[in-house]
């Protein structure tokens, strides 16, 4: 079954919950995101050093809240060049018009992460 994510695309933030790789406890962050089909994209400014990225690499099963809607999914670091470019374009494109800070360097250097959402 396909999720209808279109109404959620304009939300400012999502809340990503990973499982702590050391503690085994849920860890939630507020983060910028963009949606494309059934996939949610984020950019990690600290790359693979970000705690949330380390967590999802250890345990890819995550949950995401967008507005009042809750989803589960499987998280992964984006590896393919075409999807990498898409993730960067979508996330930076969503936030650059609203932010006074130039996001171009961040958009080129941050690590793209995807969550393939399920019902």
Q: Considering the domain boundaries, does residue 91 fall inside one?
A: yes
* 60 part of a folded domain: yes
d(CA 40, CA 72): 11
Tens-digit pLDDT string for the chain (119 aa): 566 787 899 899 999 999 999 999 999 999 999 999 999 999 999 999 999 999 999 999 999 999 999 999 999 999 999 999 999 999 999 988 665 677 878 888 999 999 999 86
- Rounded Cα distance between 111 and 72, Å, is 21
Q: Give the residues across from 27 on adjacent strands.
A: 18
Domain-embedded: residue 1: no
Residue 90, domain member (yes or no): yes
Counted domains in the chain: 1
| Separation CA 54–CA 119 (nearest Å) | 25
């Amino acid at each position: 079954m396909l999720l209808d994510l279109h109404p959620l695309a304009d939300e400012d933030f999502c809340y990503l919950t990973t499982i702590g790789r050391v503690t085994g406890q849920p860890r939630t962050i507020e983060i910028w995101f963009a949606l494309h089909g059934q996939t949610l994209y984020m950019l990690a400014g600290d790359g693979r050093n970000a705690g949330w990225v380390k967590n999802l690499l250890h345990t890819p099963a995550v949950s995401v809240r967008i507005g009042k809607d809750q989803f589960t999914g499987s998280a992964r670091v984006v590896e393919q060049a075409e999807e990498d470019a898409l993730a960067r374009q979508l996330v930076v494109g969503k936030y650059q018009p609203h932010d006074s800070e130039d996001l171009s360097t961040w958009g080129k250097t941050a690590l793209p992460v995807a969550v393939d959402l399920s019902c």
